[in-house]
């Protein structure tokens, strides 16, 4: 019933782009006119074609503008935009989430939309998932922008601050979303306007938008600074937990998310520590360290969750199967894993400020995005970003065959089946792409294939830098490539090599065969991998090999179904097994959605307070708020200092001191809120809704924030001696961090206690609901 209604009315949050067809066909009629324009006239014609540069957040390109853009693209890039791409450009310019399959040409469609915005006088950020794509796309599209007098640039992790400021003054900037976020955070902490790089958050066109808007949305971007605290020492804790026996001394819960010490484990540890009581409040820190060390040993796996490169821990972003640069786990866990790997424990930092990707994106005046999988998350995009999603059909019919998934009861039989399939297709010359779940698994399959005489290129977080080059070759005749999740996303796999020299032979062999090992945590990720095959009307095949021993199944399938598999697995048919797998994935998706909503709810409360603080901070930095607040509190001291120098020198001092106090207080407040957040689940036990409770406490704790920051500023100023005037505030003992750095916290593998509780509850509820259905 629900399906039927959705077919008629569309899924919640989804929309049709049919209304733009009219403009596109009108643009076709203006093709001749635009084609007759001189190169030198394109820019002027584009601007003249724009009817309303308008105040509104979105732009509706006119037929003339589209015709000019198409002509400009043909002349400068040698690619004539297809109708579908013009349609996509219209939909993007109107602020939508656009679904277009892999290989349909989203890069060009996004650039056309960016050009339309730029012609209308808007500032555009085209946001990508990594540096490589930002640089590539800016270079690729530059001739198009040049011909229209649109200034374009790009920003990556290694772009110096000076250059960033220049780039952000351009009309169109290609950048990874995290870099823009870091710039916003760093700017927020600046003490003079000149230190800012000032990205303008006007229009964002997000590429691979579901990965950014949904999968990474609640990952906080963090600005951290040096702290004088010394790192916690996990050496002892690490040595102790190595003595523990699984089952006897600790237990892992069914969803593999938590590990806890048993009474026997606690006894052993207390003995080793000389008979202390670990539950005594005096030993809380030790117990926490032991728990973290245990977690690091049992639940965090080398080559799955992290790599060790150059004596440092590199986290693997499990959602993408690639190294997550500059990420770290929360300090304690990070140090515990470092101790486990016998690395030098890196120094902890203090978090100065954080910003979630979602929070950043919502600050743009206009938001739009494109990806091969958008409609599946239409509801969430509407809920979190008020975005409407629609699909633009392929230009050429899909020639890809998706074979039904095959479910195995153990790893060995799956490996055998994959081997048979790979060998057969490889023999026929068909390029094969094997999609795996982790670095370790990709290497395992590479070994298995090598033993069978098939050499494969392995594309995983280890050779991150070369991934685009390797994936581009994956369509060669007889090539075998093994990848982790979405590595190489954004790079086209062309049949018969990069220049398609061998396209016919490869197409005749059957095109790219995608063999997927296990299902990803969302149907979208599965679709992304399958979408690698059959681009632009090419032939292709996909096959999926799932094992009931897969983590996704074990962690998410309802217990009674797991039990059924354990008892009568070999008697169950493929349809039954398949539906259990589908159900496990749906549960994983639902948990993720709930988590997104929860995390967003918490971070929104913080974001609102952050905005208030920033408002005051601006008034202090660029106005006379500090002088007013401080004089009001200590008029005599102010007069005394002013007569020793001048009122403006004292005002300057008050400003610097007040900025320091505001920043310091925000940092403390943030730490405090995080602590409350992590402890809030205990409130749930008392029958209180944790979200409401958090909002209530957050509000209470924020009360008096400014009064106490300015009180402190006044106290400090009161004690200033005339000889300290006109100097840096460090003479007053006020230190700013000597260095700052940024990182994105990946999914906390530990999960805050709240996350874990939500996860357990989510699974429980869904199990019941599914049973009723
Ligand atoms: P997507 O991001 O949608 O997966 P890309 O933007 O990477 O696709 O483009 C895929 C390939 O299609 C690129 O190699 C690009 O050169 C080519 N392409 C895109 N648009 C056109 C066009 N209008 N004419 C010819 N080739 C195109
Ligand atoms: Mg792309």
More confident residue, 710 or 597: 710
What number is the average pLDDT over the span 103-118?
97
What number is the average pLDDT over the span 38-67?
85
Domain ranges of the chain: 2-225+358-391, 235-348, 399-547, 605-745
- pLDDT value of residue 751: 43
- Tell me what percent of the residues of the chain surpass a pLDDT of 90: 61
Strand order in the sheet with 306-309: 306-309, 312-317, 322-323
Bin 396: left if φ > 0, else alpha if -120 < ψ < 50, else beta: beta
Name every residue whose Cβ is closer than 8 Å to that of residue 76 and which is 6 or more positions away in sequence. 143, 144, 146, 147
More confident residue, 222 or 453: 453
Atom of ligand 1 nearest to the CA of 100: 3
Centre of ligand 2 from the C-alpha of residue 765, in Å: 37
Is the pLDDT at 711 greater than 80, yes or no? Answer: yes
> Is 674 within any annotated ligand binding site?
no
Write the residue with the smallest CA distance to atom 19 of ligand 1.
105
Query: 47-61, 80-94, 374-388, 566-580: lowest mean pLDDT where?
Result: 47-61
Antiparallel, parallel or unpaired: β 457-459 and 480-483? parallel
Q: Which of 10, 4, 8, 74 is nearest to 39 (CA)?
A: 74
The pLDDT confidence band at residue 758, using thresholds 50, 70 and 90, is very low
233 lines ligand 1 (CB under 6 A): no
Is the pLDDT at 136 greater than 90, yes or no? Answer: yes
The pLDDT confidence band at residue 197, using thresholds 50, 70 and 90, is very high
- pLDDT value of residue 679: 64
Q: DSSP 3-state assignment of 392?
A: coil
Q: Which of 324, 265, 320 is nearest to 294 (CA)?
A: 265
106 lines ligand 1 (CB under 6 A): yes
> Is 585 within any annotated ligand binding site?
no
Least distant ligand from the CA of 105: 1
Burial 735-772 (b: 16+ CB within 10 A, else e): ebbeebebbbbbbebbbbbbbbbbbbebbeebbeeeee
Centre of ligand 1 from the C-alpha of residue 485, in Å: 22
Antiparallel, parallel or unpaired: β 312-317 and 322-323? antiparallel
> Tokens at residue 719, please?
């004690």
Least distant ligand from the CA of 392: 1
Helix (H) or strand (E) holding 204: strand 203-207
Write the residue with the smallest CA distance to atom 25 of ligand 1.
79
- pLDDT value of residue 462: 58
The pLDDT confidence band at residue 762, using thresholds 50, 70 and 90, is very low
CA 88 vs CA 171, 391, 483, 587: distances in Å: 21, 9, 30, 32
Neighbours of 635 (CB within 10 A): 10
82 lines ligand 1 (CB under 6 A): yes
- pLDDT value of residue 469: 79
Write the residue with the smallest CA distance to atom 17 of ligand 1.
105
> Is 104 within any annotated ligand binding site?
yes
Burial degree of 263 (CB within 10 A; 0-12, 13-18, 19+): exposed
| Domain 605-745 in this protein, CATH class | mainly alpha
Q: DSSP 3-state assignment of 155?
A: coil
The third-level CATH classification (topology) of the domain covering 399-547 is Rossmann fold (3.40.50)
Is the pLDDT at 417 greater than 60, yes or no? Answer: yes
What is the distance between the alpha carbons of residues 754 and 605, in angstroms, rounded to a whole number? 16
**C-alpha dihedral over 185, 190, 193, 195, to 10 degrees?**
-90
More confident residue, 468 or 515: 515
Superfamily of domain 2-225+358-391: P-loop containing nucleotide triphosphate hydrolases (3.40.50.300)
| 25-31 contacts, C-beta under 8 A, 24 or more apart | 26/63, 27/63, 27/64, 27/66, 27/67, 27/70, 27/86, 28/67, 28/83, 29/63, 30/63, 30/64, 30/66, 30/67, 31/67, 31/70, 31/71
253: DSSP letter: -
- Best residue for ligand 1 mutational test, from 99, 209, 492, 536 (most atoms within 8 Å of Cβ): 492
CA 665 vs CA 196, 285, 668: distances in Å: 21, 25, 5
What number is the average pLDDT over the span 547-557?
94
- Tell me what percent of the residues of the chain surpass a pLDDT of 70: 87
83 lines ligand 1 (CB under 6 A): no
Is the pLDDT at 658 greater than 60, yes or no? Answer: yes
What is the distance between the alpha carbons of residues 640 and 650, in angstroms, rounded to a whole number? 10
Sign of the CA dihedral with 271 first, then 276, 277, and 281 last: negative
> Is 105 within any annotated ligand binding site?
yes
Give the position of tokens 């009723």.
772
Residue 423 phi/psi, 5° resolution?
A: -65, -45
Name every residue whose Cβ is closer than 8 Å to that of residue 392 and which is 6 or more positions away in sequence. 17, 84, 87, 88, 91, 98, 99, 100, 104
Q: Would you say 405 and 546 are in contact if contact means Cβ atoms under 8 Å apart?
A: yes
Centre of ligand 1 from the C-alpha of residue 85, in Å: 10
Least distant ligand from the CA of 84: 1
Q: Which of 717, 711, 721, 733 is nearest to 652 (CA)?
A: 717
The pLDDT confidence band at residue 201, using thresholds 50, 70 and 90, is very high
Centre of ligand 1 from the C-alpha of residue 104, in Å: 6
Q: Which of 339, 333, 127, 330 is nearest to 239 (CA)?
A: 339
Q: Would you say 513 and 543 are in contact if contact means Cβ atoms under 8 Å apart?
A: yes
Write the residue with the smallest CA distance to atom 12 of ligand 1.
105
Least distant ligand from the CA of 106: 1
Atom of ligand 1 nearest to the CA of 207: 2
81 lines ligand 1 (CB under 6 A): yes
| Domain 235-348 in this protein, CATH class | alpha beta
Sign of the CA dihedral with 553 first, then 555, 558, and 559 last: positive
Q: Would you say 72 and 118 are in contact if contact means Cβ atoms under 8 Å apart?
A: no
Q: Would you say 435 and 493 are in contact if contact means Cβ atoms under 8 Å apart?
A: no
Centre of ligand 2 from the C-alpha of residue 489, in Å: 7
Residue 349 phi/psi, 5° resolution?
A: -120, 175
Q: DSSP 3-state assignment of 78?
A: coil
Q: What is the pLDDT of residues 295-353, one digit of tens each?
A: 889 888 888 888 898 888 887 766 555 666 556 666 677 888 999 999 887 766 678 89
Q: Would you say 371 and 267 are in contact if contact means Cβ atoms under 8 Å apart?
A: no
The pLDDT confidence band at residue 468, using thresholds 50, 70 and 90, is confident
Q: How far is CA 602 from the centre of its chain?
A: 18
108 lines ligand 1 (CB under 6 A): yes
Atom of ligand 1 nearest to the CA of 81: 23
Crossing angle of helices 83-93 and 106-119, rounded to 10° = 50
Mean pLDDT, the chain, rounded, equals 87
Bin 79: left if φ > 0, else alpha if -120 < ψ < 50, else beta: beta
Q: Would you say 606 and 698 are in contact if contact means Cβ atoms under 8 Å apart?
A: yes
Is the pLDDT at 72 greater than 70, yes or no? Answer: yes
Q: Which of 759, 602, 732 is nearest to 659 (CA)?
A: 732
Name every residue whose Cβ is closer than 8 Å to that of residue 149 and which is 6 or more positions away in sequence. 43
> Is 284 within any annotated ligand binding site?
no
105 lines ligand 1 (CB under 6 A): yes
Centre of ligand 1 from the C-alpha of residue 107, in Å: 7
CA angle 429, 433, 434 (to 5 degrees): 125
Predicted TM-score of the model (pTM):
0.84
Centre of ligand 1 from the C-alpha of residue 371, in Å: 13
What is the distance between the alpha carbons of residues 515 and 426, in angstroms, rounded to a whole number? 12
Write the residue with the smallest CA distance to atom 9 of ligand 1.
105
Intrachain domains 2-225+358-391 and 399-547 with the same fold: yes
Q: Would you say 300 and 749 are in contact if contact means Cβ atoms under 8 Å apart?
A: yes
Write the residue with the smallest CA distance to atom 23 of ligand 1.
81
> Is 286 within any annotated ligand binding site?
no
79 lines ligand 1 (CB under 6 A): yes
Neighbours of 228 (CB within 10 A): 9
What is the distance between the alpha carbons of residues 93 and 385, in angstroms, rounded to a whole number? 16
Query: 205-214, 366-375, 401-410, 683-692: lowest mean pLDDT where?
Result: 683-692
What is the distance between the alpha carbons of residues 174 and 127, in angstroms, rounded to a whole number? 6
> Is 107 within any annotated ligand binding site?
yes
The pLDDT confidence band at residue 730, using thresholds 50, 70 and 90, is confident
Write the residue with the smallest CA distance to atom 18 of ligand 1.
105
Centre of ligand 1 from the C-alpha of residue 103, in Å: 6
């Amino acid at each position: 019933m629900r399906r039927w209604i959705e077919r008629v009315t569309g899924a919640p949050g989804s929309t049709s782009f049919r209304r733009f067809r009219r403009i596109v066909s009108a643009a076709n009629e203006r093709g001749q006119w635009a084609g007759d324009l001189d190169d030198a006239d394109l820019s002027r014609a584009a601007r003249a074609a724009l009817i309303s540069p308008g105040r509104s957040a979105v732009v509706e390109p006119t037929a003339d503008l589209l015709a000019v853009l198409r002509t400009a693209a043909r002349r400068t890039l040698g690619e004539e935009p297809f109708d579908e791409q013009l349609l996509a450009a219209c939909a993007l310019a109107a602020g939508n989430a656009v679904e277009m399959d892999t290989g349909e040409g989203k890069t060009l469609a996004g650039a056309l939309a960016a050009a339309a915005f730029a012609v209308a006088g808007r500032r555009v950020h085209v946001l990508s998932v990594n540096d490589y794509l930002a640089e590539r796309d800016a270079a690729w599209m530059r001739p198009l922008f040049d011909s229209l007098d649109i200034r374009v640039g790009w920003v990556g992790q290694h772009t110096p601050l000076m250059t960033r400021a220049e780039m952000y003054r351009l009309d169109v900037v290609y950048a990874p979303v995290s870099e823009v976020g870091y710039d916003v955070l760093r700017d927020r902490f600046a003490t003079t306007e000149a230190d800012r790089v000032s990205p303008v958050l006007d229009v964002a066109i997000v590429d691979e938008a579901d990965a950014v808007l949904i999968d990474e949305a609640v990952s906080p971007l963090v600005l951290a600074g040096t702290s004088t605290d010394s790192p916690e020492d996990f050496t002892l804790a690490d040595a102790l937990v190595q003595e523990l026996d699984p089952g006897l001394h600790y237990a892992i819960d069914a969803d593999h998310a938590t590990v806890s010490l048993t009474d026997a484990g606690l006894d052993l540890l207390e003995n080793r520590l000389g008979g202390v009581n670990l539950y005594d409040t005096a030993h809380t820190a030790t117990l926490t360290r032991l728990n973290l060390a245990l977690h690091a040993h049992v639940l965090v796996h080398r080559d799955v969750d992290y790599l060790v490169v150059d004596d440092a821990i590199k986290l693997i972003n499990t959602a993408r199967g690639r190294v997550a640069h500059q990420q770290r786990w929360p300090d304690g866990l990070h140090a515990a894993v470092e101790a486990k790997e016998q690395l030098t424990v890196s120094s902890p930092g203090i978090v100065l400020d954080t910003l979630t990707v979602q929070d950043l994106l919502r600050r743009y005046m206009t938001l739009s995005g494109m990806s091969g999988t958008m409609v599946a998350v239409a509801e969430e995009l509407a809920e979190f970003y008020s975005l409407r999603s629609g699909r633009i059909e392929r230009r050429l019919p899909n020639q890809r065959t998706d074979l039904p998934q095959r479910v195995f009861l153990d790893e060995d039989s799956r490996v055998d089946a994959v081997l048979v399939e790979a060998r057969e297709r490889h023999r026929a010359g068909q390029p094969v792409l094997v999609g795996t779940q982790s670095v370790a698994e990709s290497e395992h399959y590479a070994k298995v294939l090598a033993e069978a005489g098939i050499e494969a290129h392995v594309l995983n977080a280890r050779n991150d830098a070369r991934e685009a080059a390797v994936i581009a070759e994956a369509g060669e005749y007889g090539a075998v490539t093994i990848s982790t999740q979405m590595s190489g996303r954004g790079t086209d796999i062309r049949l018969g090599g990069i220049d398609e020299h061998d396209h016919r032979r490869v197409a005749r062999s059957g095109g790219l065969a995608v063999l997927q090992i296990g299902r990803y945590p969302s149907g979208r990720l599965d679709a992304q991998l399958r979408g690698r095959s059959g681009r632009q009307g090419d032939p292709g095949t996909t096959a999926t090999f799932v094992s009931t021993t897969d983590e996704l199944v074990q962690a998410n399938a309802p217990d009674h179904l797991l039990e059924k598999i354990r008892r009568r697995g070999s008697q169950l048919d493929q349809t039954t097994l398949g539906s259990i797998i589908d159900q496990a994935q749906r549960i994983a998706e639902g948990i993720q959605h709930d988590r997104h909503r929860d995390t967003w709810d918490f971070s929104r409360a913080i974001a609102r307070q952050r905005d208030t603080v920033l408002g005051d901070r601006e008034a202090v930095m660029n106005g006379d708020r500090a002088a007013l607040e401080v004089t009001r509190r200590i008029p005599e001291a102010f007069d005394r200092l002013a007569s020793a120098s001048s009122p403006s020198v004292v005002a300057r001092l008050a400003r610097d001191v007040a900025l320091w106090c505001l920043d310091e207080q925000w940092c403390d407040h943030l730490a405090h809120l995080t602590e409350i957040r992590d402890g809030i689940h205990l409130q749930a036990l008392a029958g209180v809704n944790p979200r409401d409770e958090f909002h209530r406490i957050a509000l209470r704790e924020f009360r008096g924030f400014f009064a106490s920051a300015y009180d402190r500023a006044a106290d400090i100023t009161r004690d200033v001696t005339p000889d300290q005037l006109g100097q840096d505030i460090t003479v007053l003992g006020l230190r700013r961090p000597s260095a700052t750095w940024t990182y994105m916290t990946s999914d906390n593998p530990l999960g805050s206690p709240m996350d874990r509780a939500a996860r357990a509850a989510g699974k429980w509820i869904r199990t019941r609901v599914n049973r009723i259905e």
